[in-house]
Amino acid sequence: MSVSLDFLVNLLDLEPIEVNIFRGIQPNEERQRVFGGQVLAQALVAAGRTVETGTVHSLHAYFLRPGDPNVPILYEVDRIRDGKSFTTRRVVAIQHGRAIFNMQTSFHVAEPGFEHQRPMPDVPRPEELASMRERLAKFPGAVEEFDARPHPIAQRIIGELPWIGRTVREPVQQLWIKADGTLPADPLLHAAVVTYASDMSLFDTILGPHAVNWDDPEFMGASLDHCMWFHRPFNADSWLLYDTDSPVASGSRGLARGFLYDETGRLVVSMVQEGLTRIIDPAKDH
C-alpha cells in the first residue's frame, strides 16, 4: 500500500467511542473546510460498522454546514431498520455540538434479478493517458504543489484539465480513477474509497460552461447533497471510468451526474450531486 493510500485507509478507520458513536480524525492539511468526500466516506464506514449482513446499495446525504478541519468529527448512527433483505441506517456528523452533515444509507443482501445497463463510453484506456503529475509538469510550480499533499486516488483525465484556465467547455468530463495501491479485501472499505473519490471531480462538470474557477473571489461553490447507488461488486484499487455530465444549472444551483464503469465495461456505481453555484456581488457585504 502506498503512503498516500495508507493515509486514506487510516482516515477511514474510525474510532468507536460508544455504542453507535464513532470519531473520525482529520488529515494534517491546511484546508478552510473539511473535504466533502471525507465526510461521506467516514459516515458510510460508521454506518457499515453497525450492519451485520448485506453490502451498501445506496446513500443519500446532505451537507448542512462547512466542517472544521481542526477538530475531529463525531458520527452518530441511528439503527432505523434491520430487515431480512434490507438494512437502513441514518448517520449525523457533529462538530461543536451542531450537525454539519446527515446521511441515510441502505444495505442489501445480494439476490438475483433483472440485468441491463447503459453501455460504457468508448474512451482511451488508462494506460494510454498521462498521470496527473506528468500533466502538471508543464505548469510552473504545479508539481511541487501536487507533491506537497497526499494523493490516495490516482487519476487519468481524458481531455483538458478542467481547472486550468478559463476555457468554456461542454458540461461533460471523463476520467479514470482508482486507489493508488492495493486495498484489503473489505467491500465496505472499497465502497468508502469510491465514495471519497466521487466528490473529487463531479462538481467540475457543473463549472464547465461557465469560465469560472474555484478560487475566483466572485464565485462561491459547495456541495449541497450527494446520492449514490452501488449496483455491482467492484474493486476500488482497479481502474474505474468516471463518466460525468451536468444536465442543468439554475437558481444558484447546478446538478451533476456520474457513472462508474470497471475495465470490463460493467456499470458498478451511479451518483448525482447538487452544488451551490453562487455569484457574489463584491458591492454587497456577504
- Active centre residues (catalytic): 199, 223, 273
CB 21 within 8 A of CB 76: yes
| Cα 8-72-203 angle, rounded to 5 deg | 55
Determine the Cα–Cα distance for residues 43 and 188; give it in Å rounded to an integer. 11
From the number of C-beta atoms within 10 Å of its C-beta (0-12, 13-18, 19+), residue 26 rates as middle
Residue position matching grid coordinates 490516495:
152
Determine the Cα–Cα distance for residues 254 and 277; give it in Å rounded to an integer. 6
Q: Bridge partners of 253?
A: 250, 276
CA dihedral of 187, 115, 257, 75, whole degrees rounded to 10 = -30
Determine the Cα–Cα distance for residues 128 and 130; give it in Å rounded to an integer. 7
CB 106 within 8 A of CB 88: yes
Determine the Cα–Cα distance for residues 39 and 34; give it in Å rounded to an integer. 8
Length of the chain: 286
